[in-house]
């Protein structure tokens, strides 16, 4: 409550129907899942692996997500028989 003599403080306006953080997060996830370009992956990894991922990402100029994708793609290509891979790709610095 504001003092009647206070001419400087504005009245606080509460918006009815304001979204909660959970509602905003749900909308964000729905927008991104509808694009069908990415999938959500929530997991915990060891501290050492996290630090190594961060260092690799920095070295190659990628985000941690991009670096993880590069590592997975490289491992996938190496796991396939040679005749199934069109080219042998190695991790290249991000331009």
Contact 57, 70 (CB under 8 A): no
Confidence of residue 70 (pLDDT cuts 50, 70, 90): very high
Contact 12, 2 (CB under 8 A): no
What's residue 67's pLDDT? 96
What's residue 47's pLDDT? 97
Confidence of residue 90 (pLDDT cuts 50, 70, 90): low
Contact 33, 27 (CB under 8 A): no
């Amino acid at each position: 409550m504001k003092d009647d003599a206070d001419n400087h403080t504005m009245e606080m306006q509460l918006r009815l129907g304001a979204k909660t953080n959970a509602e905003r997060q749900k909308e964000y996830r729905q927008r991104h899942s509808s694009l069908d370009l990415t999938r959500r992956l929530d997991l915990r990894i060891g501290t050492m692996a996290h630090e190594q991922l961060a260092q690799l990402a920095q070295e190659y100029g990628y985000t941690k997500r991009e670096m993880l994708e590069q590592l997975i793609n490289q491992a996938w290509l190496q796991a396939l028989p040679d005749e199934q891979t069109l080219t042998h790709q190695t991790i290249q610095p991000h331009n």
